[in-house]
Amino acid sequence: MEFKALASSSSGNAYILSDGGESIMIEAGIPWPKVQKAMDFQTGAIQACLVTHGHKDHSGYVGSVLRAGIDVYTPFDERFVGHHRIHFVPSDQQFGFTVGRWSIKSFPVKHDVVCVGYLIGRVSLEYGIERVLYLTDCLYSPFRFKGLAMILLGVNYSKDTISPDIEPAVRKHIIQGHMSLQTAIELLKANDLSRVREIWILHCSAQNSNAEMFKREIEKLTGKPTFVAAENACGAPNGRHDL
């Protein structure tokens, strides 16, 4: 499998997971022409788009994705109720479904709006069943996961790097709805990483994080190659990596 970060910040998020034939788009937070360009206009390979929640940097361009003829899975989006390509996943329980050759499970996470994470699976001739964990914009994970090959983890801030000058309302939004480096480390400690081949750090806060320090700490803990998705990764060297 191949993972490509198109954009990863509070300005917009979008990612592509591909098996070389079929692709899954994760989040719809950037204009559709940027997605087309990043995929060399081969967007026909996209089987579905998975959206975690309704904040604009994750779902602002759902309409464009739908107009491109791609089914969207999301916990809720009142703008498109009744649309034939919208599929609502429950936000209070685990929910499994298949898209093309992909097996997907959504699960609830704690954010300041309704939000889910995704466990995305594919069968590999070389490795058997491989699972990719996508978890961002959440306080913590209430679940543990088995058989992970790749972890895509939103690590927004650290207790040591959050700005002391941040506005109280913004600070509350960050701390009560996003994962810290310290929580990410505890999550990684709680899961079996024996089959993990790489970890991605997503959605770092521009003002309240230190991406290189986060990468260093996670690599030190896990011994796994760790990559940081650039804020606007389209075409960037660290925006793409093979699994």
Class of domain 2-236: alpha beta
Mean of the per-residue pLDDT values of the chain? 89
CB-based contact 108:92 (threshold 8 Å)? yes
Q: What is the pLDDT of residues 142-179, one digit of tens each?
A: 899 988 999 999 998 888 878 888 888 888 778 878 89
Residue 126: pLDDT band (50, 70, 90) is low
Name the residue ranges covered by the structural domains of the chain: 2-236
User: Would the pTM of this model clear 0.85, i.e. be above it?
Assistant: yes
